[in-house]
Structures are given as structure tokens and as C-alpha cells.
Amino acid sequence: MEQKLFVYNTLTRKKEEFKAINPPHVGMYVCGPTVYSDVHLGNCRTYISFDLIFRYLSQLGYKVRYVRNITDAGHLEGDADEGEDKIAKKAKLAKLEPMEIVQKYTVGFHDVMEELNILPPSIEPTATGHVIEQIEMIKQILESGYAYEVDGSVYFDVEKYNQNHDYGILNGRNLDDLLTNTRALGGQQEKRGRLDFALWIKAKPEHLQTWPSPWSLGFPGWHLECSAMSDKYLGQHFDIHGGGMDLVPTHHTNEIAQNIACCGKMPANYWVHTNMLTVNGQKMSKSLGNSFLPHELFSGNNSILNKPYSPMTVRFFMLQAHYRSTLDFGNEAMEASEKGFKRLLNAWELIDKLKASEKSDVEINLLMQRCYDAMNDDFNSPVLIAELFEASRIINSVHDGKMKIDQQNLALLKQLMKSFVQDVLGLKNEQAADDDLPQVMNFIVDLRNEAKQSKDYATSDKIRDGLQKIGFQLKDSKEGTNWTKI
């Protein structure tokens, strides 16, 4: 790769030059949603951040295998084996099958990802689809001596593991420190140590999603699914593992312990964590009741919002902050983003109208490298956006005749805007898509009227009925034919 990329690694707590294990291939695993409710804007921030990373690595020429799982079983209300299963609880309340809940919220999640122009991962495995792999992993951890069984449940022995390894390696904390700061939680009467966590949980009779195993009819612990699925699709040692930073102390700490106990290898080289979207400085979270749904923003249907914001404005708002900084959500910040995004779009639209001159007042390759420099510095999207505003200033100046640009630099400027606005930031011109619609519809209406005039009623009816089916109604009057969106 020509560019030197630096990535902040939670594991070493510093920025390191990115070296792929097997270039040009890169394996990246990101913890996906638990599909028991709609994803909120906070969750979207994390997936937009990894979409940016996925897109930039691809832009650099890496072939990324991006695995982002769906948690469709085994995630209890608390992270430490306490409370009810989130999906089962929802299913009981709604009198539905757990997999009906899973289906509903997986479809909703995919819709939101598409609206925000978040690319689908290369593989999207589910926990329920990998119970066999999880059982095999538990067997290996038992064999290595770092787990024990009590009455049909299997627990990871943290203190024993820590005698030979460093359990708190990810957040740089030692075991004594962790022990004094941990409350006694679920399954405590069976656990040997307060930090031990469940690999397999024997199901109570009323539990809804269960599987047979050598230990009991039960279900796997939440942390195990990511260990088993990253191992299956990316191997024992891969490049990047990511998620929100709230996953560091428990979920990712336990994942590392499981993989090392099972296979003797640190699963990933680079641990990348996104910071939180906040509301008035507090983490946006469903349980705190301060979460916003993407659709509330797109429709403006929330009493706290002054107006609706388009999906691309929301995406731009998220990208204006570095993924490791907190970002506070509010009307003023959204309005500022809307203005900024419009400014960028206006310049982008003008680019095709620019005329090349013999001479050039600008050197776009310098600006192009500054865009790469921004992204090479731990995916610094706000600095990249500042460079793109500089590109916009150049576009506007050339358009207004205040600056000259030659053919070569103009071609490079077009390439810069396409690569960084469209391919890396994943922004698109929503207006343009809508603006094309009247032209396309008028063309179809003309075709249909031509068919009608030449008495080809089969074709004219086919067009009218076909449009009706996809949500457009044609109305004929003396003045001509009008179309409306139903």
C-alpha cells in the first residue's frame, strides 16, 4: 500500500502503523446489534464509524473481509449473566416467537443501514446459527483448564486464567483493581470467583431458546458468540476487532480471554473502539430513555426536534466528529450539519459545469494528499471534511471566474470529490435522486400516451397498472396526464 495508515489501538493505547497480517487481505470483526428492538442513533454512530473504516481500507486497495454479527440469542439484560434474555423477554411480552422478534428487528436494522448508506458487511453471521461452534469452543476451554462446570452451566475461571495471562489487558487494569470494582452478579452462588462469566447457561424451564449440549439443555453466554464466529470466519488471529467503547471492560475483555484460553492466540492485532453519541453529555441508550430512532429524525416525528433531517445529513453530522471523540446530539448541531452538508453538495454539483483553462492557479495533488493524510491519521473524518471544504472553495472560485484550473487539475479535482465524498465518506446527493424523478416519470407518461394514441391499449394499461403497483397514480384530464405519488 502506498499510504501509511496509523490506527489507534485500544490494546496498546497508542497510534500504530497499520500492518495487515496477509496483505492485501484484511479481516475485520465488529460486534453487531442484539435484535430485540430498533437500533437507535447511538448504535448507528458505531456502524457509520466502522463503515468509514471499511470504506477507507477498501479505498487503499485492501480486500476487506468484514464480519458483523447479529446477536439473536443469549444476550441477557445485564452484561454479567444477570437478568432475563433480552429477546425472550420481548417475545413473551408481544406473545411472539423469539425468532419473530429477531426477524422484525433484523429487517428494521438492515433498512436503517441502507438509508444511512452503510455498506453491508461481507458476512453477517448469527449467534443461533453457530451454537455448534460455540459448544466446541467451550469444550476446548474446559480442556485447557480455564473453565469449570457446575450443575449444567459452564463458567470461565478468570483468576486461574489470570495466573498465566493478563485478563485486564484490554483496558489496562489489574485483577485486584477489577475485583474491588465489581459487584456480585448473576449465577454468583455457582461461580468460584466474582469475575467469572458464563460460557454455557443451563436453561430454566421457562427459558425460550435452548439447545442440547454435553452439560445441559441451555444456551451459550453472550461473549462466546463473537469469539466463535470471528474464529470461524477470520481465523484464530486476524487484523481488526471493533465495537463501541462500552464493550471494552466486559464483552471484549472476555472475548480475548476466551480466544486465548481456547487457541492460545490474541484474536486481533488492532482493537478499535468508537466513542459514544451523547445527549446533554449522557450516553444515548435505550435503558436511559434518552435514545432517538433514526426514523424520528428522518420524519421529524419527535417533539424535541425542530424539523426533520435527511439520512445523509445525519451521516454527515456523525462524520463531522472523530470516531474516538464524544459527539453530542441536538437541534443546533444538526442544523449546523445540514448547512455544512448543503455547502459541500452545492460545490459537488457545480463541478461538472467547470471549464478548464490553459493555466492553473491550483495544484490538486497537494490537496489530494492532505485528504489521504487526514484519513491516514486514525481515520480523521473531521479533518478530511475541512479539506473537502477547501476543495469546495476552489470549485466555487473557478465557477465564479476568480480562479483558473487546467484540464489535468480539473480531472484530479473530480476524482478527489468522488473518492472522498462518495466512496470514503459514503455521502450521496439525495436531492439529485429526487430531482431526476419528474423527468423519468414524464418520459414514462409520454410512452404510455403514445401507446394509447396508437390504440395499443394493452401496453398503455400495462404501464398505468405497473406504475400503480409501485406507488404512482396517473390521472387523465383534458389538459393531459398528471402523475402523483400515492
Grid cell, residue 166, equals: 493478563
* Chain positions contacting ligand AMP, by CB under 6 A: 31, 33-34, 42-43, 45-46, 243-244, 246-247, 274, 276-277, 283-285
In the complex, what is the shortest distance from the CB of residue 69 to ligand AMP, in angstroms, rounded to a whole number? 10
C-alpha to C-alpha distance for 117 and 95, rounded to whole angstroms: 34
Per-residue x/- marks for Zn ion, 20-59, CB under 5 A? -----------x----------------------------
Of 38 and 338, CB closest to ligand AMP: 38
In the complex, what is the shortest distance from the CB of residue 58 to Zn ion, in angstroms, rounded to a whole number? 23
Of 31 and 240, CB closest to Zn ion: 31
Which residue in 82, 75, 76 sits closest to 185, CA to CA? Answer: 82
Q: At what angle do helices 131-144 and 253-263 cross, to 10 degrees?
A: 70
Q: Using an 8 Å Cβ cutoff, are 341 and 316 in contact? A: yes
In the complex, what is the shortest distance from the CB of residue 72 to Zn ion, in angstroms, rounded to a whole number? 13
In the complex, what is the shortest distance from the CB of residue 100 to ligand AMP, in angstroms, rounded to a whole number? 19
Which residue's C-alpha cell is 459514544? 276
Of 45 and 241, CB closest to ligand AMP: 45
Burial of 400 (0-12, 13-18, 19+ CB in 10 A): exposed
Please tell me whether residue 363 adopts helix, strand or coil conformation.
coil
Of 239 and 246, CB closest to ligand AMP: 246
In the complex, what is the shortest distance from the CB of residue 267 to Zn ion, in angstroms, rounded to a whole number? 11
What ranges in 145-271 are assigned the alpha helix state H? Answer: 158-164, 175-180, 222-234, 253-263
Of 142 and 226, CB closest to Zn ion: 226
In the complex, what is the shortest distance from the CB of residue 408 to Zn ion, in angstroms, rounded to a whole number? 47
Q: Distance of alpha carbon 390 from its chain centroid, rounded?
A: 28
Binding partner of residue 445 among Zn ion, ligand AMP, none, CB under 5 to 8 Å per kind? none
Per-residue x/- marks for Zn ion, 191-230, CB under 5 A? -----------------------------------x----
In the complex, what is the shortest distance from the CB of residue 303 to ligand AMP, in angstroms, rounded to a whole number? 21
**Strands 238-244 and 268-274: what pairing?**
parallel
Which residues face 361 on adjacent strands?
A: none
Residue nearest to ligand AMP (CB): 244
In the complex, what is the shortest distance from the CB of residue 29 to Zn ion, in angstroms, rounded to a whole number? 8
C-alpha to C-alpha distance for 396 and 417, rounded to whole angstroms: 14
Of 202 and 241, CB closest to ligand AMP: 241
Which residue in 438, 436, 440, 418 sits closest to 428, CA to CA? Answer: 418
Of 126 and 274, CB closest to ligand AMP: 274
Binding partner of residue 33 among Zn ion, ligand AMP, none, CB under 5 to 8 Å per kind? ligand AMP
Of 262 and 277, CB closest to ligand AMP: 277
Of 77 and 143, CB closest to ligand AMP: 77
C-alpha to C-alpha distance for 156 and 221, rounded to whole angstroms: 10
Burial of 52 (0-12, 13-18, 19+ CB in 10 A): buried
Binding partner of residue 226 among Zn ion, ligand AMP, none, CB under 5 to 8 Å per kind? Zn ion
Binding partner of residue 45 among Zn ion, ligand AMP, none, CB under 5 to 8 Å per kind? ligand AMP
In the complex, what is the shortest distance from the CB of residue 73 to Zn ion, in angstroms, rounded to a whole number? 13
Binding partner of residue 371 among Zn ion, ligand AMP, none, CB under 5 to 8 Å per kind? none
Which residue in 397, 373, 376, 371 sits closest to 386, CA to CA? Answer: 371
Burial of 55 (0-12, 13-18, 19+ CB in 10 A): buried
Which positions lie near Zn ion, rule CB under 5 A?
31, 226
